[in-house]
Amino acid sequence: QKEVEQNSGPLSVPEGAIASLNCTYSDRGSQSFFWYRQYSGKSPELIMSIYSNGDKEDGRFTAQLNKASQYVSLLIRDSQPSDSATYLCAVNMGLDSNYQLIWGAGTKLIIKP
Amino acid sequence: NAGVTQTPKFQVLKTGQSMTLQCAQDMNHNSMYWYRQDPGMGLRLIYYSASEGTTDKGEVPNGYNVSRLNKREFSLRLESAAPSQTSVYFCASSEEAAGEGYEQYFGPGTRLTVT
């Protein structure tokens, strides 16, 4: 059974601090890794994709991938109240199917003003 | 450019009734997906269509059928609704991004209640 694990939270972070969200996955063949943000009552929105080991930065967001340890993380710098949402980690199903993603249950992030 | 659209936004059904959820995308994507999301759980794939003319079962296909009408449209049908199908349903589409992975883009969702 291929799995993606996330801490459900809630993770509470003061405004202006760095929020760190983590995700582990079971399939060593996975090649594509995604972070989605989902506000309450809304649909998931893609915020970062990463395909190679190391860091990828986009504005206040940094995705980090370590394939050897099978984890991917998302850092949010200078956290804002508008960052309060559930963050979903998704990983492709490796060699079985590049189209399909395996989803974590999400981490609820709360930014305290 | 509307992205992915879904209709209806809300629906209440009685047990045993049938309905079709509609999804359309205007991004010229080949692949489309139907998910359900239940409280406290991740997205679960119901069916997907890797390309026009093909459909495949996902993790939770029982009680559902799909039709890939053309490249733009992918519908989900509940033939005989059950209370266990009360959920939020999301349609998504994807295209390979620069030879790497398939980034999925979601519609706004349909909130379905079966009584």
Taking the C-alpha atoms of residue A35 and residue A57, their distance in angstroms, rounded to an integer, is 13
The rounded mean pLDDT for chain B is 93
Six token digits for residue B106: 């979601």
A96 confidence band (pLDDT: 50, 70, 90)? low
Number of Cβ pairs < 8 A linking chain A and chain B: 59
Classify each residue of A12-43 as buried b or exposed e, where b means 16 or more C-beta atoms within 10 Å of its C-beta: ebeeeeebebbbbbebeebbbbbbbbbeeeeb
Q: What secondary structure letter does DSSP report for B109?
A: -
- Residue B49 CA: distances (Å) to CA of B58, B68, B87: 10, 7, 21
- pLDDT of the residue at B98: 65
If phi > 0 it is left, if psi is from -120 to 50 it is alpha, else beta; for residue B23 that is beta
Structure-token pair, residue A76: 């949010």
For B39-57, how does the pLDDT look when each residue is reduced to its tens digit (9 = 90+)?
877 899 999 998 888 999 9
pLDDT digits (tens, 9 = 90+) for B19-37: 999 999 999 999 999 999 9
Q: What is the DSSP letter of A98?
A: S
Which of B53-62's residues contact partners 24+ apart within 8 Å by CB, and which partners? B58/A100, B58/B33, B58/B34, B60/B36
Who has greater pLDDT, A100 or A12?
A12
Give the pLDDT confidence score for residue B12 in this predicted structure.
97
Q: Best of A98, A99, A107 to disrupt the B interface by mutation (most B CBs within 10 Å)?
A: A99
Separation between Cα atoms, residue B55 and residue B85, nearest integer Å = 21
Candidates B43, B97, B106; nearest CB to A49: B97
Q: Quote the pLDDT of residue A29.
A: 85
- Mean per-residue pLDDT, A64-84: 97
Q: What pLDDT is attached to residue A77?
A: 98
Residues of A with Cβ-Cβ distance to B96 under 8 angstroms: 98
User: At residue A88, does pLDDT exceed 80?
Assistant: yes
Banded model confidence at residue A98, pLDDT cuts 50, 70, 90? low
Q: Tell me the residue ranges of DSSP E strands in chain B.
A: 4-7, 10-13, 19-25, 31-37, 43-49, 56-57, 64-68, 74-78, 87-96, 102-106, 110-114
Cα distance between residue B49 and residue B102, in whole Å: 13
* B68-114 confidence digits (pLDDT tens): 989 999 999 999 999 999 999 999 999 876 666 788 999 999 999 99
